[in-house]
Amino acid sequence: MNITSEIKMKLSITIFLVLLICNSIFAKEATQSSINLQIGMAYSYNLTSELQIEGIDYDNSGFAFFVRGMLQSEYFLSIGVESGFVPIKNIYNKAIQNEFGSTNVKSNLDAIPILLVFGMDFEELKIYYGLGYYNIIARISAFEEMSRSSDFSLGFMFASEYNILKYKSIYSDIFLKIYQISDANRTILNAGISFNYKF
């Protein structure tokens, strides 16, 4: 872990503590708590422009999904956890030629976020802020060899959702979301639709 990561880690803990303290300070009068289960799917696009290696075309887009459980209580913020699947970058069976010969390349770079999420409602609009780790999974198949790697990276998430449908305990929102995977320096934009069920 380099110094930048250490500083980020300390800042993350600070943010987490600030959120918890604010949550307690701004506590509203007691209301009924509820659990909100949310699933969503989105078109995902990797905004990060890394060095392109000559002769290799990448696909920066894909389909992402997430699952989120939120506890909505008397506090200022709702709190919960989120996970899912976020594609970052892929190569689908592209033929390349280099010093090692010619080969077909198949590669996936994906992330599984594991985030602690804080949410806040502004009537129809909801704001979510997530903090945690991304399990980044890289797989590559080329030159009849297979490499696979899995690593955790500190990261964040910021999402805004707008309610478009309400039916009893079921809600549907459209959302725009940014995943920032800090250590790996990747920013991924998601736009999609989610379905909520309030218990």
Partner 1 sequence: MVKKIIFVFLIILLQFLLSCDNIFSIVYPEFSDNSMLVNASKLPEITIPLIEGIFKTDDKQSKMGDQIVLKFNKDKLSVFCSKSMDLFIMNSGVVDSGIVFEGWGRDLETTSVTLGRIFIHSGKGAQSLLEGIMPDSLIITFSLVVENQAKSSQNSSNFSYEYKFIRKLNENKNFHIIAHRAGARNSDLFTASENSLEMINIAESFGANGIEIDIRLSLDKIPVLFHDNFLSNRLVDGDILLGAIENYTLKHLKSFCRLKNGETIPTLEEALNEVLLNTKLNLVWLDIKSSDVIEYIIPIIQKYEELAIKNNRNIKFLTGITSIEVFEKIQLHSEKKLATICELDKQTAKRAKSKFWAPQWTLGYLNTDIQELENEEIQSLVWTLDDRKFIIEFLENSNYHGILSNYSPIVAYEYYIRN
Which residues lie near partner 1 (CB under 8 A)?
A: 2, 4, 8, 11-12, 15, 18-19, 22, 26, 50-53, 56, 58, 76, 89-91, 96, 98-100, 105, 107-109, 118, 120, 122, 127, 129, 136, 138, 140, 142-143, 145, 147-151, 153, 156, 158, 180, 182-185, 187
Q: Exposed, middle or buried by CB within 10 Å (0-12, 13-18, 19+), for 60? A: middle
Residues 6+ apart with CB under 8 A from 162: 124, 125, 126, 173, 174, 175
- Smallest distance, Å, CB 170 to partner 1? 25
Nearer to partner 1, 40 or 155 (CB): 155
Nearer to partner 1, 19 or 39 (CB): 19
User: Around 36, how many Cα atoms within 13 Å sit in the side-chain half-sphere?
Assistant: 27
User: Letter for the amino acid at 185?
Assistant: N
CA 36-39-45 angle, 5° bins: 135
Nearer to partner 1, 45 or 195 (CB): 45
Nearer to partner 1, 42 or 109 (CB): 109
First vs last C-alpha separation in the chain = 41
What are the structure tokens assigned to 41, written together? Answer: 């799917």
- Smallest distance, Å, CB 147 to partner 1? 4
- Smallest distance, Å, CB 175 to partner 1? 16
Q: Which helix (H) or strand (E) holds 17?
A: helix 3-25
- Smallest distance, Å, CB 4 to partner 1? 5
Q: What is the DSSP letter of 144?
A: T
- Smallest distance, Å, CB 114 to partner 1? 16
Nearer to partner 1, 37 or 105 (CB): 105
* Site of tokens 């002769």: 55
- Smallest distance, Å, CB 50 to partner 1? 5
Nearer to partner 1, 102 or 168 (CB): 102
